[in-house]
Each structure stands twice: as structure tokens, then as C-alpha cells.
Amino acid sequence: MLVLKFGGTSVATPENIDKIKNIITGYTDRIIVVVSAFGGVTDQLINAGYRAQKQDDSYKTILKQIETRHLEAIKALLPVTDQSKVLSNVKRELNVLETLLDGAFFIGEITKKLSDKIVSYGELLSSYIIAEYFKSQGIDCAHKDSRELIVTGLANGRTTISLEQTNSNCINFFNTSKNKVVICPGFIAKSEAGDPTTLGRGGSDYTAALYAAALNAKVLEIWTDVSGMYTANPKMVKQAKPIAHISYEEAMELSHFGAKVLYPPTIQPVLAKGISIRIKNTFSPEDDGTLITKSKNEKGKTVRGISHIGNIALLSLEGPGMVGIPGVSKQFFEVLSQANISVVLITQASSEHSICIGISVDDVALAVAAVNEAFAYQIERGRINKVVPETSLAIVALVGDNMKNHQGLSGKMFSTLGKNNVNIRVIAQGASERNISCVIQEKDVKKALNALHEEFFEENIKQLNLFVMGVGNVGSKFLDQIQQQKKYLKENLKLNVRVIGISNSRTMVFDDDGISLKNWKASLAEGLKADKEEFFKTVNKLNLRNSIFVDNTANKAVSDTYKDYLRNSISVVTCNKIACSSKYTNYHELKELARVYNAPFLFETNVGAGLPIIDTLKHLIASGDKIQKIQAVLSGSLNFVFNNFSDKTTFHDVVKQAQEEGYTEPDPKIDLSGVDVMRKILILARESGTQLEIADIGNNSFLPEESLATTSNEAFFTSLKNHEAQFQNIYRQAAEKDTKLKYVAQFENGHASVGLQEIPKGHDFYNLEGSDNIVLFFTDRYPKQPLIVKGAGAGSDVTASGLFADVIRIGNY
Ligand code: ADP
Ligand code: ASP
Ligand code: MG
């Protein structure tokens, strides 16, 4: 004998029911098929009852929908000749259901008995229709109402199973019935007094387990819409995988902590008989699914699954009157038990000063009233504080039999959550050490599950979620590079880099499954209107692990939003120099926020584009070296200008050419006046540990006053023409001494300056080509021969690769 249970989705449509027929005809053993109501019907019945009781006649609409759905299923499944009997039986049942709902409507009340009777129609109708369909297909099949077999009792206000009666009913019936297949409704039963009862939401699994145990079935198969019990709910964690083999205890723990694929009470009856459970997928029957047995799980596996329960509230009983006074906790739990409230999690501070429990949000009002009433005397005297519930919480649990033999799992769990800015409200560890659970905010659940899953199951693959603002030259190159390297990063660095949000100044687009980088331009063009605040809000709301904001703009308003990101543990990578060269207090605050919120703030491309200048400096300092002097040519644009300027050209034409070839800022005066270089040496000075402002930097500008005073590009270029003689003079003087002109930035003894210098032959700067940059670090360890970083210091390609390198640094963080 086998027992197969098919859940709501598996029986939701005639096509699905046909799949079940194909599955069961493959078996040679006798089978009991337990079915749920058609998917969604139980919810509709509960809803209809609720409305009727509230004297809201819209229950009639719901009833109509239920009727149409069942009648259409009959018409789709049965040959016309068989339909009329089944249609009239179902219509008769639906009339009774209507009478029951009308009764609730007229009285304005619904009793537990009536509500159980109403919801039982879901399984009654589905099992009857399916049985008739199988018969019509020539299957040797009977229909048996589970209310005639499963008997419930009551203990402490909760429904229990009267096992003796149930078992003997089952044995008597199935030993005398001869059909190969017997179809039974799940979920529904009858009390000892003969009233309709139910086994709780998801209870069809339990019905099937009771049959399996009563009849010593070979196996209990739970057929559902996923291919087994997964390492985490596959609807929340895309990377989750089915668990091939798991112990009863682990499965029970996972289901207790919310793995809905199995209703928690299901395991007990089959465990007692040593009957294995297999979870199978109706929509993919060839998949192995999950086997649940007594045997221990495979060696070396510690965490087997992660699950969560939503809709949790915390109640804390606290107060000076709790210390050393026996019986307070006893009374607390008695009150809750009398109010029929089930406690999902308990923690007690060792000071005995407080007990904290997790319960379902649905029970909060009742629990708070009961506890405050029971402790009214102590509350009035200030011995115990009135309980105030905390809501919008959830429990996340790691489960595994072997967890008790391993140190460091909870450390890993909490540091993973901490790194992702998930605040942990309460921690509990089961005495069996089969689970470690904690209470977090409901809004963080998806992020927490995914981060934990990545940590414990994904062979170190780390997902990085990027939000890219600015897709001009640099930004679009950056996206190209990500697309090109995606596969390499996954295979070699174990980084799964996804772009979730993109914005330019006009539109923005998000896709939490990752934007396809093949056609991001088209997606962006169809996006929402761009808005920096909304962009941040969306990033924050999506609440994805390892989120990184990438700023490719040169916009101050964008740099003003970094703090919002960092405060929410979202890393920031930027090539925009404005933040780091703004007031020292602002720069310092950003660095502090990054430290406090564990979110890297990286800006390598602020100096020398993709060259590893800041990273090198950081490593020198971290390893204990001291900076004596920094000398550098940091302006690709000025280097280009002075490498091309001579007595054969004009200064004006060379600057124009530099602008046209993209080597200058849109406003070339920012480069020519030395402001851009000042910002860069300021950032290097700050990264060396010196508190400096831009106004502290000496700038011996070679530009005439008139050029510095211009307010438009046009006026600036005219002024260059007007002063050609002065520029030629600078050139001649340098050429006569056989030197080259370089715009040099220097930092020494806490002072920084920038200016044009005549560089003699043999100097490291002399042969600097094109738009290259060079930095000489003179340190205690490199006192005479400096550490040199040199190479292309401008251009969108190298800047994009510098941003890319920062993203990878965060990935390896
Ligand atoms: P049925 O209607 O077949 O009884 P349920 O909806 O009750 O199906 O249970 C199956 C669902 O359980 C899956 O679709 C999935 O969303 C959810 N689920 C939660 N946790 C897990 C898990 N760890 N493994 C598999 N499914 C899970
Ligand atoms: N139909 C019931 C429910 O939705 C029982 C079940 O499907 O297991 O809860
Ligand atoms: Mg279920």
C-alpha cells in the first residue's frame, strides 16, 4: 500500500489533474490518493465565511466563483455522458454550502463548527470530482470521505487525533475495500461527537501521514509544486537546491520554522512507524525529490536548510519583580496556554530580568490582554512592566542535525547578517542544537535568507548587486566591461555581478532579477523619470545583499546622496571627485560611515583613473610605512597640452585639441587652472592621514589673470589667444634650459602645492608621454628610490576599469 498526497497547486486545473492520472497509473501497488482543495479554494471559503459573518453579502460573489470553477472542471474532465450525475451532485452540495453561508450572514456570527463545515467543501468537492474523473478513465477507483475515518479529540483547547479510533477505522475500511485506488479528501475530519473538524491549514499532508501510519504503508509521497524540500524556500532564494536526503528530525525542524512544503505534524505518525516520506514534484515527476528517513544525514553536512516564519510578534515580560521570585515564568506560560496561544520561540536573559517570546501576530491582541490582566497586580505596583508587543518581525532559522558538533556556525550566521545590515532582535538556539534561530525585521527576510544561503550553501559564490548612476562615456564602458567579464568573474573569482538599477539624468530602470546588459539602453530609455531620491529609496527598499552604488557622474547632488547609501550599509564606488575633495569634515564623515556601517566607500578613480594609486597608498600606510613626500603629475589633460605645445603651434590650438579629444573636463579651465590637480593631491594628502582643505593648497598658476577670470568656455579660449606671447615665453625659457614643462603636484611635511615646473633630463617626469600620469611615493621604506606608479591616467576605458577594480575589491572584502 502506498499513500500519495497531491496539494492545492497539483489539483488546481483540469490539466494538472490529468498529470496526476498519468502519475498514478504508473504504480502497480494499491494506492490511497489524498487530495487538497483546488488551489486557492480554501482561502476563498474562509473569506466567504468571514464576509458572511460581517453581514457583507459579497460572499455570494465568491460562492459564485467557487461554483463556476468546479462546474467547469467537471465539464473539462468528464465525457458528456458522465457529466449530468456529477454536476447535479456538486450543485446539491453547493446549495448546502450556500445555506450555511446564508445562515452565518443572517445571524452575523460564525462558530468554529460552522466554519469547519464551510471550509470542508473544498476537499469534499475536489476529491469527488477527481474520483469521478479517474473512474471515467477506466481506473479501478473509489471515493471515501475522510470524515468517516479520521477522528479528532480536544486537548488544552487544541485539536488532536484520536489515534485508536482513527487507526481501527482505517484498517477496517481499507482491508475490506478492494479498489486499486481510493481517493480521499485531505484536511477534513470529524470529532468524537460527530461534528466536522479540520486538521489546520496545510493539513492534507497530515491526513495522508495518518493513513500511511495506520496502514503501515511502504512510503508516503507528498506531491507538490516544487522538486522536494529545498535548502531554502525556492520562491525566496533562487539559488536554493533540493535536499536529496534528510532526517525526520531535520525535516520537522525545517517545517516547524516555516518550510511550508511539509505541514509540521505530518512527520510524527510516520516517524513512529519508520515509514519514509518522499517529496515529489507533480510538474516534474522525473526529478528525484527529497527522501525523508530515519537514517542520519551525510557526513560533513552541517547546515541542511534555512527557513523562516513571517508574521511574528515579540512579547517581553520584564521588571524588577521578576528577579529571584519563583513562578513568574510558570504563570506567564500558563496564561498563554490557557489563552490557547502557541509560543514559537522563547529566550530568557540570565539575569532573570526578562523573558521574551515570539508568537504569531494573529495572537497578539489576545496574548497582550491575557498577560496584562494576569499580572495586573504586579504591574500596578511597578514590579512588572506592562507588556507591549513588537510586530513586523520574522524568525530565520538554520537547521541541521550535525550543527551541534561544529563551532563557529552561529558566529558565521550573525556576522553574515551583520555585514548585510540585518538587525538581530533576539537569538535562540534549540536545546537539541538542531537549530539556531533569530528574530529580525520582516522587511529584511529576503536579504537575510539569500545572504545566509550564499554563506552556507553556495560554494563561496558571492552575488554583488550594482546600482549604476551615470551612463556617459565612463558609465557605458563600465557596463560593457561587466557584461564582457561576467562569466570570468563567476568562474574564477566566484563573483556573480548583477546590475539591478541604472539611471542617467533623464530616466532610471530597475530589475531585481538583474538588467540584461545586452540591451540596457533600450530598457533605460523606457524607464521611469530619473530622480536621485527615488533611486536611493528603491535601492534601499529592494534591500538586496551586497548592494553597491556606482557613481559615474561629476555631479555634486549625486555625491550628496552617498551618506544615505552608506548609512544603510550600501557600498559606494565613485569616480566623482567632488565628495572626497569637499570639506574635510564631509570626507571624514563618509569614511566614518563606511567604517561604522561596514560598507566600503571606494574612489580609486578619483586620482589617475584606473591606476592603483590610492590602493597602493593605503597598503603602504596599513603596513606601517610613513609617507615623506608625494610628487606627481596627475593631470592627463595638462600633460597632453604641454607635451604637444611648442613654438610650432599655439597654446590655444593645443588646448582646443585636448578638449576635442576628450582629455579635459567639459570646462577646460578646471584642468588648466590646476583645480583638478589640486583636488587630486588633496585626496592623496587626506589618504596619507593629513587633515587638509582645498584652500590650504598652494597654486602657482601659469594662466594669466584674465583667463582665470573668464566665466565661459568661449571667453576662456579668446583669452588664451590674447596671451599667446606669454605662453610662448614660458615655452622658450624651458626649451633654452633643455627642460620640459610638467604640471607637478607635491605633498611634503603636511603641505601641498601644484604648479608648472621645468623638468630636467633624467628626471622620472621628463619622458612622461601623452596623457600619462605618474606618482612618486617617497616613504620611510622607499626614501631615495621612490615607489612609482605610472601609466595612462585619463580616458573612459581606464576609468571604467578602475571602477571595476573597486567593485571587485568589495567582492573580495
Ligand atoms: P501544496 O499545495 O502542494 O501543499 P504548499 O504551498 O503547501 O504546497 O507547499 C509548497 C511550497 O512550500 C513551495 O511552493 C514553496 O514555496 C514553499 N516552501 C517553503 N520552504 C520550502 C523549502 N524549504 N523547500 C521547498 N518548498 C518550500
Ligand atoms: N486545503 C487546505 C489548505 O489550504 C489543506 C491543504 O491544502 O493541505 O490549508
Ligand atoms: Mg501544503
Q: What is the mean pLDDT of residues 364-376?
A: 95
* 156 three-class SS: coil
Tell which one of 16, 126, 233 to mutate to probe ligand 1, the residue whose CB is within 8 A of the most ligand atoms: 233
- Residue 537's pLDDT band, with cuts at 50, 70 and 90, is very high
- Say which of 190, 280, 669, 680 is annotated catalytic: 680
- Tell me how far apart the alpha carbons of residues 53 and 56 are, in angstroms, rounded to a whole number: 7
**Whole-number pLDDT of residue 243:** 95
618 is known as an active-site residue: no
- Judged by its nearest atom, the ligand closest to the C-alpha of residue 203 is 2
d(CA 427, CA 409): 13
Q: Stretch 442-467: mean pLDDT, rounded? A: 92
What CATH number was assigned to the domain covering residues 2-225? Answer: 3.40.1160.10
CA distance 73 to 130: 9
Q: If you take atom 1 of ligand 1, which residue's CA is the nearest one?
A: 7
Look at residue 771 in the predicted model and tell me its pLDDT.
78
Interval between CA 180 and ligand 3 midpoint (Å): 25
pLDDT at 719: 96
Distance 342 CA to ligand 3 centre (A): 20
Instruction: Find the 223 Cα to ligand 3 centroid distance in Å.
Output: 9
Residue 296 is predicted with a pLDDT of 63
Long-range contacts of 579-584 (CB under 8 A, 24+ apart): 579/603, 580/606, 580/679, 580/682, 580/683, 580/686, 581/606, 581/678, 581/679, 581/680, 581/682, 581/683, 581/694, 583/693, 584/686, 584/691, 584/692, 584/693
What are the DSSP calls for 65-130, one per residue?
HHHHHHHHHHHHHS-HHHHHHHHHHHHHHHHHHHHHHHHHHHHT---HHHHHHHHHHHHHHHHHHH
Does the beta carbon of 261 lie inside 6 Å of ligand 1? Answer: yes
Q: Is 70 exceeded by the pLDDT of residue 61? A: yes
User: Pocket residues for ligand 2 (CB within 6 Å)?
Assistant: 7-8, 36-37, 42, 122, 186-187, 201-205
What's the fold here for domain 613-792? Dihydrodipicolinate Reductase; domain 2 (3.30.360)
Superfamily of domain 462-606 in the CATH hierarchy = NAD(P)-binding Rossmann-like Domain (3.40.50.720)
Atom of ligand 1 nearest to the CA of 231: 23
Angle between helices 796-811 and 473-488 (to 10 degrees): 50
Q: Which ligand is nearest to the CA of 263?
A: 3
What are the boundaries of each domain within the chain?
Answer: 2-225, 305-457, 462-606, 613-792
CA gap 723, 731 in Å, rounded: 13
Q: Which helix (H) or strand (E) segment is 34 a member of?
A: strand 31-35
Q: How far is the CA of 19 from the centre of ligand 3 (A)?
A: 18
The pair phi, psi for residue 242, each rounded to 5°, is -65, 145
User: In this predicted structure, what is the pLDDT of residue 407?
Assistant: 80
**Superfamily holding 305-457:** VC0802-like (3.30.2130.10)
Given a cut of 90, whether residue 325 has pLDDT beyond it is no
**What residue spans of 233-299 are helical by DSSP H?**
248-256, 267-273
Q: In the predicted model, is pLDDT for residue 762 greater than 60?
A: yes
**In a mutational test of the pocket of ligand 1, which residue from 13, 17, 224 has the highest number of ligand atoms less than 8 Å from its CB?**
224
For the segment 250-286, what is each residue's pLDDT rounded down to a tens digit? 999 999 999 999 999 999 999 999 999 999 999 999 9
Contact 689, 622 (CB under 8 A): no
Q: Which pLDDT tens digit goes with each residue over 601-615?
A: 999 999 999 999 999
What's the 33 CA to ligand 3 centre distance in angstroms? 15
Residue 130 pLDDT exceeds 90: yes
| Integer Cα distance of 208 and 213 in angstroms | 9
**Helix 112-136 and helix 80-107, axial crossing angle in degrees, nearest 10:** 180
Cβ(370)–Cβ(315) under 8 Å?
no
Q: What is the mean pLDDT of residues 562-591?
A: 97
Task: Indicate the pLDDT class of residue 300, thresholds 50, 70 and 90.
Answer: low
Residue 156 pLDDT > 80: no
pLDDT in tens, 768-790: 988 799 999 999 999 999 999 99
What whole-number distance in Å separates Cα of residue 537 and Cα of residue 558?
A: 14
In this prediction, residue 350 carries a pLDDT of 64
Counting ligands in written order, the one closest to the CA of 200 is 2
Is the shortest distance between the CB of 36 and ligand 1 below 6 Å?
yes
| Average pLDDT score, the chain | 94
Q: Which residue, 553, 545, 531, 381, is CA-closest to 471?
A: 553
| DSSP run (H or E) holding 416 | helix 409-419
